Amino acid sequence: MRQAGRSLPEYRALRKEGSILDAIKKPDIAAEITLQPIRRYGVDAAILFSDIVVPVHAVGFGIDIEPGVGPVTENPFRTAKDLERLRDLDPIADTSYVIETIKICVDELRIPLIGFAGGPFTIASYLIEGGPSRTYKETKKLMFDNPKLWGQLMDRLTAICTSSLTSQIQAGASAIQLFDSWVGALSPDQYIRFVFPWVEKMFEEIGKTGVPKIHFGVATGELLQLMSDVGADVVGIDWRVPLDQARSRVGGGKALQGNLDPGILSAPWTAIEAEVLKVLELNDGHPGHIFNLGHGVTPDVNPDVLERIVHVVHQYRVGQ
Ligand code: 1CP
């Protein structure tokens, strides 16, 4: 899950100060950061070290990542003129460093590497709001005030994300994850109208490669069925919905990913262990389950706790 490396001292030593985007642009560093949590934790898959705003940054929209804040843009997306700052992505010319990082990782790894992109709603929200938001007021204003422009923006972002994901798969990623992290801000009706058609198109295109598609968002309890129906093979579940209920919402033939609450990682170990076992028990032996956190690791988390969690999951046997 995002930022699993953030709590590692070896990550902070390598990353140092400065923009995370500079570290992402150096394949040797980015590959090393991708591999650090794998060496320490012995998990079963790696996630590329990059960020969801990398493709829109690379086409020159004018977005950066401010330490301690996240993605920020001085000139938010407001009018049709702003579409000019969202040309097509040429992954080889614009993001060769991502491709290079993936190749280095895949050469070293004995486990699958997951590539990723941001979902179009989540990326749109950063471009329109100018930074992280709690209310998504400007984003919703644009959706309802100018659905035509919203559609054009989603078209551009869908094309950019599809190119990025395709290039990551060609470079060796074994699966992809679409992080539409903030889409839980929408009602099911809003999701159907303003997001579903574009994600469906993206998944149709990516589906041609045959790699598994993981789809994740936070606070998406009421959207799980839609986020499955849109074409995902695996649906990421945050900690708010018990895994057995999530499975009935997502429907048959799909896998689930999740859903330990990352907020409990500083609680006493016995409480954490009980929560880990609860997730595994609620999965009830279903074959399609990727154990994971319900969202990202925060920098204050003790890496030893994560190591113990991996151990408990690996030791667990159904019916224990
Ligand atoms: O675990 C990893 O390090 C994998 C690499 C990774 C991934 C998959 C990073 C590095 N970012 C992401 C995805 C990402 N980025 C998401 C989707 C996942 C999620 O829901 O968290 C989102 C929303 C972002 C945007 C972002 N980038 C934020 C969130 C801001 C907000 O709106 O609340 C932040 C803080 C960043 C910076 C960032 N990206 C990645 C790291 C390790 C960091 C932390 C800061 C740093 O080291 O400078």
In ligand 1, the atom with minimum distance to the C-alpha of 132 is: 32
- 191, 223 in Cβ contact below 8 A? yes
Of 73-82, 130-139, 298-307, least confident by mean pLDDT is: 298-307
Per-residue confidence band for 18, with pLDDT thresholds at 50, 70 and 90: confident
The arithmetic mean of pLDDT across residues 304-311, rounded, is 96
What is the best residue among 1, 3, 53, 113 to mutate for testing ligand 1's pocket, by most ligand atoms within 8 Å of CB? Answer: 3
User: What was the pLDDT predicted at 79?
Assistant: 98
Judge whether 212 lies within some domain: yes
CA distance 133 to 137: 8
285 CA distance to ligand 1 centroid (A)?
A: 31
Residue 208 DSSP label = T
Q: 89 falls in which pLDDT band (50, 70, 90)?
A: very high
CA–CA distance, 72 with 76 (Å, rounded to integer): 9
The yes-or-no verdict on residue 1 having pLDDT over 60 is no
Tell me the residue range of the domain where 227 lies.
9-319
4 in a structural domain: no
Residue 14: its pLDDT value, please? 86
In short, whether 65's Cβ falls inside 6 Å of ligand 1 is yes
pLDDT averaged over every residue in the chain = 95
CA of 297 to the centre of ligand 1 (A): 10
CB distance 70 to ligand 1 below 6 Å: yes
pLDDT tens track for 23-49? 999 999 999 999 999 999 999 999 999
Above 60 in pLDDT, residue 305? Answer: yes
Domain count, the chain: 1
Contact 296 CB / ligand 1 (< 6 Å): yes
Q: Could you tell me whether strands 113-118 and 234-236 are parallel, antiparallel, or unpaired per DSSP bridges?
A: unpaired
| Residue 2: inside a domain | no
CA–centroid distance, 296 to ligand 1, in Å, is: 8
- Residue 22 falls within a domain, yes or no? yes
6, pLDDT greater than 80: no
Please compute the mean of the pLDDT values over residues 259-263 and round it to a whole number: 97
Q: Using one digit for the tens of pLDDT, what is the confidence trace for 205-238?
A: 999 999 999 999 999 999 999 999 999 999 999 9
Considering the domain boundaries, does residue 3 fall inside one? no
Q: What tens digit of pLDDT does each residue of 269-288 get? A: 999 999 999 999 999 999 89
Cβ of 126 closer than 6 Å to ligand 1, yes or no, is: no
Say if 190 falls within a structural domain.
Answer: yes
Q: Residue by residue, what is the 3-state secondary structure of 89-142?
A: CCHHHHCHHHHHHHHHHHHHCCCCEEEEEECHHHHHHHHHHCCCCCCCHHHHHH
2 touches ligand 1 (CB under 6 Å): yes
What CATH code is carried by the domain that includes residue 282?
3.20.20.210
Question: Mean of the pLDDT values across residues 299-312?
Answer: 94
Nearest to 37 by CA among 107, 100, 113, 104: 113
Residue 56: predicted pLDDT = 98
Query: Residue 1: inside a domain, yes or no?
Result: no
Name the closest-CA residue to atom 22, ligand 1.
52
> Does any domain span residue 19?
yes
CA of 319 relative to ligand 1 center, distance in Å: 36
